[in-house]
């Protein structure tokens, strides 16, 4: 069954937290506490801590992936303060593309996000594409329309086969649940995962997008993780604040591991 073929993924987005001196130790601690079979683990520290985290994980647990939190849409040029995909090669294997904070704070558009995605794929980085609606859009019943538009806009210039080969991951992150302590329900997340895969079907993805992992993100904690992993259409989490807390990450990955085990047994 297709569901059993999808990875279970837990990615931690440290946002603008940690300096190199503390990042390596935190990564080692989290890695040691989250060695759960069947779960793909990724840590996304700030740019300045990528090398420290990468070195720590290479020594203590190379199974944990390292991801960047952003990437520029050009390969090089006069873009002070930016970081291109080729610059990340060797420092990271993953990259978050279009977190809602980037849309909000940097005004990133769907077209720009599509270019970032292309650069990431060209550099061999595995992308986690983030999509999600504002509170006003959900209250107006527009959440599926908004998310479908975001998916289409980001993927419009990429062939489905290219995106599948790059092992695209999509994270559904309702903007109103990020950093607010509020979360969508498992049923809400599952409905949006279905809407995402319906859009992938229309774009021509193999098996209607059933091979593409869809994560939930938005104030995820060890206490709320069970509700999301109980949904067959959800394949893990993109974790924000809780990813800085080893106890929380241990609980989140442990719960994800139960789903991974159940899926492996259903093959």
Do 166 and 123 form a contact (C-beta atoms < 8 A)?
no
CB contact set of 110 (below 8 Å; sequence gap of 6+): 149, 150, 152, 153, 154, 156
CB atoms closer than 10 angstroms to residue 86: 15
Question: Is 73 one of the catalytic residues?
Answer: no
Active site residue: 101, 133, 137, 173, which one? 173
How many degrees, rounded to 5, is the angle at CA 220 between CA 214 and CA 221?
Answer: 135
Query: Helix 143-155 and helix 110-122: axis angle, to 10°?
Result: 50
Question: Is 173 one of the catalytic residues?
Answer: yes
Q: Render the burial of 199-208: b for 16+ CB within 10 Å, e for the rest.
A: bbeebebeeb
40 Rama class: left (phi>0) / alpha (psi -120 to 50) / beta = beta
Active site residue: 73, 99, 101, 231, which one? 99
Do 179 and 240 form a contact (C-beta atoms < 8 A)?
yes
- What is the C-alpha separation between 5 and 266, in angstroms, rounded? 10
With CA atoms as reference, report the closest residue to 209 among 265, 164, 262, 264. 164
User: Taking the chain, what is the end-to-end CA distance rounded to the nearest angstrom?
Assistant: 7
3-state secondary structure of 77: coil
Q: State phi, psi for 64 to the nearest 5 degrees.
A: -85, 125
CB atoms closer than 10 angstroms to residue 162: 14
**Which residues form the catalytic set?**
99, 173
């Amino acid at each position: 069954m297709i569901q059993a073929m999808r990875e279970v993924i837990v990615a931690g987005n440290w946002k603008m937290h940690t300096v190199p001196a503390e990042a390596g130790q935190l990564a080692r601690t989290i890695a040691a506490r989250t060695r759960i079979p069947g779960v793909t683990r990724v840590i996304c520290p700030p740019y300045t801590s990528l090398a420290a985290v990468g070195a720590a994980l290479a020594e203590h647990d190379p199974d944990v992936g390292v991801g960047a939190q952003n990437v520029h849409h050009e390969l090089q040029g006069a873009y002070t303060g930016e970081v291109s995909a080729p610059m990340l090669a060797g420092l990271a294997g993953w990259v978050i593309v279009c977190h809602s904070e980037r849309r909000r704070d940097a005004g990133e558009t769907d077209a720009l996000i599509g270019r970032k995605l292309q650069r990431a794929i060209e550099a061999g980085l595995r992308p986690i594409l983030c999509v999600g609606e504002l509170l006003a859009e959900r209250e107006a019943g527009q959440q599926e329309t908004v998310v479908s538009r975001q998916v289409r806009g980001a993927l419009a210039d990429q062939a489905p086969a290219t995106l599948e080969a790059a092992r695209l991951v999509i994270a559904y992150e309702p903007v109103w649940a990020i950093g607010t302590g509020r979360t969508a329900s498992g049923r809400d997340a599952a409905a949006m995962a279905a809407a995402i895969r319906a859009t992938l079907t229309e774009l021509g993805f193999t098996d209607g997008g059933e091979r593409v992992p869809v994560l939930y993100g938005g104030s995820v904690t060890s206490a709320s993780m069970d509700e999301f992993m109980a949904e067959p259409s959800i394949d893990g989490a993109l974790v924000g604040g809780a990813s800085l807390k080893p106890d929380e990450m241990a609980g989140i990955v442990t719960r994800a591991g139960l789903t991974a085990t159940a899926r492996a047994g259903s093959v």
